Each structure stands twice: as C-alpha cells, then as structure tokens.
Structure 1
C-alpha cells in the first residue's frame, strides 16, 4: 500500500464530503488503476489515522470524512457553494434534456425508411393514385346508366381503395416530414432528385378526391342505415 493510494482515497472522500461504500470507491478510483485490495488497505489506514470514519448500515459499511478535520465555511462561502450547486443543477438538467432530444432524434432516424424503401412506397402510392383516377373516370362515364347494386359495389370499391391510399399517403408524409427536418434544400428539389411525383406534378387533385371520398362514404352510410330500419 502506498501513501499515494491513501491520498487519492482521502481526496475523493473529503473533496465531496459525502459517504462512500467500498464498491463506490472502487468505481470512482478505477481510473487511477486502484484495485479493491489496495483501496481496502488505504481505507483501513485512514481509519486508523482518524482521517476517515466507518459506519455500518446493515450489511454495507460506508466511509465518511472526519468532519472535525474539515474547514468550517463562512456564510459567504456557503452561499457561493449554494449558487454554484444551483448552476450545476441547471446545467445537468439542460444536459439531460439535450440527451433526451438526441435520443428521440436517434430513434426517429432508426425508424426511418431507406431511400430504396421510400422509392418503393412512392411507386406503390403512384399506382394507387392511378387506380383511383381511373375509378373516378369510370364513375363519371357511368353516370345515369348504372343500377343501384352496381353503384353500391363501385362506391364500396372506391371507398376501400381511397382508405388504403389515404393511409399510405399519410405514412409517407409522416416519414418524409421526419427525414426532411435533417435535410438541406427545397422540398420540391429533393422530390425531383429522388423521383417523388407529387399530386401537382401528375395533375391529381387530392382535394377533389378527398371530397368525393367523403361524399361517397356518407352516402353508403345513409344507405346502410336505411336497410337496418
């Protein structure tokens, strides 16, 4: 056991003026290469010299500095330490908040799709959009000629496809929104670069489709209620 070991143990205990278990001392002093056996010998020597006191708490023994050997702080010094502690607490709270934000961003990025997966989603949505446009054109062409049964069947197919399209469209927008926050450049330029066709670029009127979807769904619900009466 060296005098340096004792000095390091004593410095840790007195500088913080708080109790430590043997395991805690080992954890904090591991950076100096101190092992459990060396720390135990150093603590025993410090206790024998009256520089450190030991107290038993159940099965755990803790070590505290001899308070009579510590300097008594003036009111000004105590106030200064209190101010310093408050500042450190604020910095700690800020660091924890920043860590929380960073972790949330990391998790969001982890869940983001790859560029290849996004392009697959885009192709899928484009195909669905084309199907819906064709469905709308077919409905317009059959106005006044379809019978009620055909009209209901077509309406249900339209509503079903619209629900799927709206769901996937929402998923894409949510994923893209998260990714776009960490990208540079205009959204339109990025869309063009990765091959995203927007509603405007393909001439699709999403608002009209949504309005038609709402109208058809309301109509189907009314017909269903009539049949139940």
Structure 2
C-alpha cells in the first residue's frame, strides 16, 4: 500500500520531503494524489510530522527509537525551515536561468549573425561602388531607372538597419549574463561595430 511505502521511505531517508519529492523519489510507483493521501493519513495518525512553510507542506518521519527532546525538535524545525528557504531560492534562480536560456535560444546564433554581417557588408560595398559609378558617370539614365536604383538602395539600407538591430539585441541579451564589459565581448567574438571602423551608411535623396 502507498502508506506503508511512504512511511518506510521517510523512515529510511530520515529527511524532510514535500509530496512532490516523495512522488518523484518513489519513481512513479504511486500517483501524487495517492502519495498526498498517504502523507495526510500518516500525519493524522501521528506516525509522521507535517510542517507548513508558506504554502508548502513538508513531511518527516518520527524516529521512534530515538529519544528526541524539545531542543532537538526546535533544531530540526530550524533545519527544515532553512532547507525550504534554500529550495525556494534555488527554484527562483532556476526560473530566471530558464527565462534567460529561452531568450537566448530564440535569437539568432553568433555564427549566423557573423555570416549575416559579412553578407550585408559585401552587399553594401557592392551597392556603394555601383552608386558611386553611377554618380560619376556622364551617361544619362532615365527617371524610371534612377527611381528603381534609389528604391533598391533604400531597400538595402532598411535591411541593413534591421539586421543591425537584431545583432544589437543579441549582444544585449548575451551581456545580461556576461560578467565582462561589452568591449571585451566584442573583442572575444571578433566583432567590429560601425563606429569602430568609422562606417556610415550612405543615404541618397
């Protein structure tokens, strides 16, 4: 029966556990509902002790063969309280770490960002050279051709700004858990910003 298995487990381990802990540690032999019912029944019968910390119940077996004084019980209660507080703190840290991991995994990888930056830089250089050639050319082009060229330039410029923003968002996300300054991170990733290389996208009117 669940009651016998739960009582034996608590007596063997001689440590405080919540209902969820006992259910997991019994390797799914009984459902959480069955374990909770067993714990409540054992507590009511005086075979185990139940302590309430906030909204969480913690159970521990009463070792009949050990004479426990009031001072020892108080020390054990204090230990239980510390363990519960430590568990709550670690749970909060775990949730924070899971949130940070989710944010990082939802953004493009560093390799993808570096390849994108390289590709964008090549496109910008090519478009810049083409634009300079057109500006210096004495060949007259039609208004429609000029409009097409300017529209394409504007399209590329918007794409460049969009990808730059994505890259900056990635860096900011990494910096949230990075112990060193942003400059150090950029050096380790071999990333050069527009400001570092004095690059200024050309806006054509």
TM-score range (shorter-chain normalised) is 0.5 to 0.7
Which structure 2 residue ranges, 5 or more long, are not aligned? 31-36, 56-80
Partner residue of 2:114? Answer: 119
- How many equivalent pairs are there? 164
8 Å contact kept, 2:6–2:22 = no
Bigger Rg over Cα:
1
* Aligned counterpart for 2:151 among listed residues 152, 156, 164: 156
Residue deviations 1:101-153, cap 9 Å, x none? 11022223445655544432231132133234335534644699543212211
TM-score w.r.t. length of structure 2: 0.52
8 Å contact kept, 1:191–1:197 = yes
Q: How does 1:55-204 map to 2 (within 5 A)?
A: 62-63=37-38, 64-65=41-42, 67=44, 84-85=53-54, 95-111=90-106, 115-138=110-133, 140-141=135-136, 146-204=141-199
1:156, CA displacement in angstroms?
A: 1.4
Structure 2 Cα separation of the partners of residues 113 and 156 of structure 1: 28
Which structure 1 residue ranges, 5 or more long, are not aligned? 37-61, 71-80, 217-229
- Greater fraction helix: 1
1:154, CA displacement in angstroms?
A: 1.0
TM-score w.r.t. length of structure 1: 0.48
Q: How does 1:5-16 map to 2 (within 5 A)?
A: 8=8
Q: Is 2:26 aligned against 1:30?
A: yes
Structure 1 Cα separation of the partners of residues 54 and 187 of structure 2: 53
Backbone CA RMSD of aligned residues: 4.9
Change (3 A) 1:143 1:26: same
1:191, CA displacement in angstroms?
A: 3.1
Structure 1 Cα separation of the partners of residues 130 and 21 of structure 2: 74
